[in-house]
Amino acid sequence: MEPAAFFRPQPLASPEPRSRAPGKDSEAGAGAGARESERGSPGADPLPDPARLIRDPLSGRTYYRGRLLGKGGFARCYEATDTSSGHTYAVKVIPQSRVAKPHQREKILQEIALHRSLHHRHIVRFSHHFEDEGSIYIFLEYCSRKSLAHIWKARHILLEPEVRYYLRQVIAGLRYLHQRGVLHRDLKLGNFFITDNMELKLGDFGLAARLEPQDQRKKTICGTPNYLAPEVLLRQGHGPESDVWSLGCVMYTLLCGSPPFETTDLKETYRCIKQVRYTLPTYLSVCARHLLAAILRPVPQDRPSLEEILQHDFFTKGYTPAQLPPSSCTTVPDLTPPSPAQSFFTKVTKSLFGRKKKSKLAVQEQDNLSRLVSDLVLMSICPQNSSKEPRQAQKEADVPPSLAETAPEEGSPRSLAAMGSSCEGSEECLTAAAVMESTLCALRNCLAFMPPAEQNPAPLASSEHLLWVSKWVDYSNKYGFGYQLSSRQVAVLFNDGTHMALSSNRKNVHYNPTSTKHFCFPMEAVPQQLQRQLGVLRYFASYMDQNLMKGGDLPSMDETESPAPLLLQWFKTDQALLLLFSDGTVQVNFYVDHTKLILSGWEPLLITFVARDRRALTYQAPHLQRLGCSPELRVRLRFVLGLLRQHSGT
């Protein structure tokens, strides 16, 4: 990792034009461009791309293949939607060419048979499978918040209550497997999937196997290097104790920020595992240290069972939240445990009066929003003509919402066809991890061969279409992260992962319920269910306009219906702010002197340096690599390289 010493600004006085709302300070995929459609005339709606339709040759059911969720050695996993019911799955697609040999096909069929037999709350649900001439398709439960690996990449270190929350669910699923004589053999963060309501599901049974007697166990070394048990490396076979070892490595990674035996050299990692050589940070609680030491023992029989782990003081004497907020995927949650008196009062109240029900209004509001999003998504996949005429919506009030009041504004309902145009993202959408990886690679190559120089080469002609964040507000302790682009478009990445933007002419609202689904509404036709988010968005816009100085906005221009790139993820350090966008752009704002670096393009990588006077100069990375650059620019590039390495985990 590049040391932070490459960039040593003076002690921090105040961040970028104090980009915070008044009050306390506190994740993937990209949206596609808007697609207009005229409702009311037959055949006006665009049909889905036939190349992205999957058809079951036996039942005739069709599925719309959406964004790429992940890929492995044999298969790729996509989001898939049943075009008749609108139900969303995760579909594992295995090309027939990858299972041409009999033993390869047998392995896939064994995985299907094993996974189909599993039914547990904390196991990814198997739905069905079929195949055609080109591929085998395995349809699984869709987990919208991806995996624990994505949360770890955004957070690196989790709180002990969070770790207990996740581990309890992992152990529940793992205990079910072991009771059925199944070994997972590949426990790691990427195989713990997270649903929309923050429930953990254990998945990926490609390496799973039936438990055999000690003398008949397979001696194959399989799994992820950082999580392999010593007996597996010593070819003594894999047993339930080996899964327990991997569980200990997972616990260590979540609490400490990296796996216990990770080194830069694989042979050295294996040596550390065999010798059980690792260190326990001093900031860990005594209970956490004791449990890790008990699990990570060289002799399998000396390790505690899953039941004994749950009875350890780490679990019995520590607070475990009943539910985690979705915002904990990217930011540290407030997990203050309830007081004993409050807990006692709650129990007594429930015993006397039963569970407190949600108000009908709150339940109806949530149901309406769910129905709205589902209907809009279905409309973009299975267009249907609507003969209903939209009712006239009331004009929005001109009074900007205050900090204390962001209640929904009044408005009459409109038919779905009139509320906005929608579009689906493409499977090539970039994730935050992909943005970091690609930029990291290009920047590393640029700096590795750059000769010393005293000044920068001639810049390119400035691009009027280059967008950057000119103002920002971190209010993630309550709402989310707000920002204004140089095009004057204002947007908010909410804590629940949704995204809403206000066009520069303030006539349209762009809404992304997920990173790959986009809806555009005229300002006067924003659905009632989205009025609260709109109120927060308008508050951010008003606050930045009134309290933050201009940050180099572009001249006013006519805005098309295509939305600006989405903010995928953001990170704050003591020295800078890192922003990752869905079009691959990476922006770093340096607090101390208000300079910025914007990396975009990739082929070639374009490097834009926004100086203190807001003057922006753009260079091609290959030119800097060949001719060198000024020390002022070089030190910032090295700092950004180190920042990307730190947050990508490489």
Residue 237, in any domain of the structure: yes
Nearest residue to 625 via CA among 444, 414, 490? 444
Q: What is the reported pLDDT for 258?
A: 92
Q: What is the reported pLDDT for 172?
A: 96
Residue 121, in any domain of the structure: yes
Residue 164 above 50 pLDDT? yes
CA distance 190 to 322: 23
3-state SS string for 138-172: EEEECCCCCEHHHHHHHHCCCCHHHHHHHHHHHHH
What single-letter DSSP state applies at residue 530?
G
Q: What is the reported pLDDT for 28?
A: 32
Q: What is the reported pLDDT for 410?
A: 31
78 and 215 part of one domain: no
Instruction: Kindly state the tokens that stand for 280.
Output: 């326990």
552 and 584 part of one domain: yes
Q: What is the reported pLDDT for 64?
A: 93
**Residues contacting 205, CB < 8 A, separation 6+:** 111, 114, 115, 118, 184
**Residues contacting 603, CB < 8 A, separation 6+:** none
Element (H, E) at 567: strand 567-572
CA distance 378 to 395: 28
CA distance 228 to 274: 10
> What does the angle CA 122 – CA 323 – CA 294 come to, to the nearest 5 degrees?
65
135 and 152 part of one domain: no
Which residues belong to the annotated binding site for ATP? Answer: 101
Contact by Cβ (8 Å): 433, 153: yes
414-418 mean pLDDT: 31
Residue 617, in any domain of the structure: yes
Element (H, E) at 443: helix 432-448
61 and 21 part of one domain: no
102 and 19 part of one domain: no
CA distance 480 to 369: 19
Number of Cβ within 10 Å of residue 144's Cβ equals 15
117 and 245 part of one domain: no
395-422 mean pLDDT: 33
The region that residue 309 occupies, defined by phi over 0 for left and psi between -120 and 50 for alpha, beta otherwise, is: alpha
Number of Cβ within 10 Å of residue 8's Cβ equals 10
Q: What is the reported pLDDT for 89?
A: 96
293-300 mean pLDDT: 96
Q: What is the reported pLDDT for 465?
A: 62
Domain CATH for 470:
3.30.1120.30
Mean residue pLDDT of the chain comes to 78
Split at pLDDT 50, 70, 90, the class of 481 is: very high
Domain CATH for 200:
1.10.510.10
17 and 71 part of one domain: no
Residue 403, in any domain of the structure: no
Structure confidence by residue, pLDDT tens digits, 523-542: 888 998 899 999 999 999 98
Nearest residue to 164 via CA among 314, 335, 329, 324? 314
Domain CATH for 77:
3.30.200.20
Contact by Cβ (8 Å): 598, 581: no
The beta-carbon contacts of 131-137 under 8 Å, at least 24 apart in sequence, are 131/96, 132/55, 132/57, 133/96, 134/95, 134/96, 135/93, 135/94, 135/95, 135/96, 136/93, 136/94, 136/96, 136/99, 136/108, 137/54, 137/91, 137/92, 137/93, 137/94
Compute, in degrees rounded to 10, the torsion defined by CA atoms 262, 265, 270, 275.
-70
Q: What is the reported pLDDT for 419?
A: 37
Nearest residue to 132 via CA among 89, 105, 93, 103? 93
Instruction: Kindly state the tokens that stand for 232.
Output: 């597996």
Higher pLDDT, 215 or 420: 215
CA distance 620 to 600: 10
Q: What is the reported pLDDT for 397?
A: 31
Structure confidence by residue, pLDDT tens digits, 22-79: 333 333 333 333 333 333 333 334 445 677 899 999 999 999 999 999 887 778 999 9
pTM: 0.50
CA distance 630 to 623: 13
- Report CA torsion sign: 106, 112, 117, 118: positive
Structural domain ending residue among the three candidates 294, 325, 356:
325
Q: What is the reported pLDDT for 383?
A: 37
82 and 154 part of one domain: no
Q: What is the reported pLDDT for 478?
A: 86
Residue 283, in any domain of the structure: yes
202-221 mean pLDDT: 79
Residue 594, in any domain of the structure: yes
CA distance 539 to 560: 24
Residue 169, in any domain of the structure: yes
Structure confidence by residue, pLDDT tens digits, 67-113: 999 887 778 999 999 999 999 999 999 999 988 888 889 989 999 99
132 and 154 part of one domain: no
CA distance 63 to 90: 11
- Report CA torsion sign: 120, 123, 127, 133: negative
Structure confidence by residue, pLDDT tens digits, 267-295: 999 999 999 999 998 889 999 999 999 99
68 and 124 part of one domain: yes
Which residues belong to the annotated binding site? Answer: 101
490 and 579 part of one domain: yes
What single-letter DSSP state applies at residue 601?
-
Position 258, amino acid = S
Position 572, amino acid = K
Structure confidence by residue, pLDDT tens digits, 550-605: 655 544 444 444 567 899 999 998 889 999 998 889 999 998 888 999 998 766 88
Structural domain containing residue 262:
148-325
The one catalytic residue among 56, 82, 132, 186: 186
Structure confidence by residue, pLDDT tens digits, 252-273: 999 999 999 998 888 999 999 9
491 and 575 part of one domain: yes
Number of Cβ within 10 Å of residue 10's Cβ equals 7
CA distance 307 to 522: 56
Which of 56-65, 366-375, 487-496 is predicted least confidently?
A: 366-375
Q: What is the reported pLDDT for 2?
A: 38
Structural domain ending residue among the three candidates 110, 141, 172:
141
Does residue 367 carry a catalytic annotation?
A: no
Q: What is the reported pLDDT for 504?
A: 87
Split into its structural domains, the chain has a count of 3
CA distance 619 to 461: 9
Residue 344, in any domain of the structure: no
Higher pLDDT, 38 or 627: 627
Split at pLDDT 50, 70, 90, the class of 12 is: very low
Residue 211 above 90 pLDDT? no
Tracing tokens 């924003």 back to the chain, one arrives at 526
Structural domain ending residue among the three candidates 301, 325, 349:
325
Q: How far apart are the first and last CA of the chain?
A: 8
186-196 mean pLDDT: 94
Position 555, amino acid = P
